[in-house]
Structures are given as structure tokens and as C-alpha cells.
Amino acid sequence: MDLIIVPIFNFFSLLTSIFKWSVIIYVIMSWLVYFDVATRSSFPYRIYEGLSKFLAPFLKPLRSFIPVIGGIDLSVLVLFLIINFLEHALLRLLAKLAMEFSW
């Protein structure tokens, strides 16, 4: 059973890592856009637009009930915390499955 659980965990760990880094890069790029640094060059702005489109389906439901406080969008922080929670919950679930099915 470990032969199945370890690759599954590695796959989901890779997905959550990519997702977390996407959120971090999105936040940094949004700061660059806000301070008019990324608009001088088209490459950083294209990265920001791409990440905005990628993360929009995940951020839109959060933004509907999390208000912007002092110009700071806290929905990105909540999304990051949700990703971390899901990653750790998955780790515990897979570890529990590995313990139950180990011989």
C-alpha cells in the first residue's frame, strides 16, 4: 500500500506547492503593479494577468464574504491558509491510511 500512497502524496504535495507559490508570486506581482513597477515592462504585467486569471475562480468566492480592510485584500491570505490546511489534512489522512494498511 505504501507504493500507492507515497506517489499520491508526492503528487498532491507538488500541486499544493505550485498553488502556494502561485499565490505568493501573485501577491508580489500585485504590489509591483500597485506601485507602478510592473507596468513599465510588459513581462511582469503579463505574469500578473495570468496569475489573476488562474486564481480568480478560487478568490472570487472568498472575496464575496471577506471585505477589503484598509485597501488590503485578505482573501489571498485566507486562500493561502486554506491551501496549507488542505495539505496538512491530506498528509494526516495518507499517513493514517499508510498505518492502517501497512503489514
- Supply the DSSP string of the chain, one letter for each residue: -HHHHHHHHHHHHHHHHHHHHHHHHHHHHHHHHHTTSTTSSHHHHHHHHHHHHHHHHHHHHHHTTS--BTTB-THHHHHHHHHHHHHHHHHHHHHHHHHHH--
Q: Is the pLDDT of residue 5 over 70?
A: yes
Give the pLDDT score at 14.
92
Contacts of 98 (CB under 8 A, 6+ apart): 1, 2, 5
Comparing C-alpha atoms, which of 82, 86, 77, 76 is closest to residue 12?
Answer: 86
pLDDT in tens, 7-61: 888 888 899 999 999 999 999 998 888 887 766 778 888 889 999 999 999 999 9
Domain span at residue 77 reads 2-101
80 vs 42, more confident: 80
* pLDDT confidence tier of residue 95, bands split at 50, 70 and 90: confident
Q: Which pTM was predicted? A: 0.83
Residue-level pLDDT at 103: 58
Report how many domains make up the chain: 1
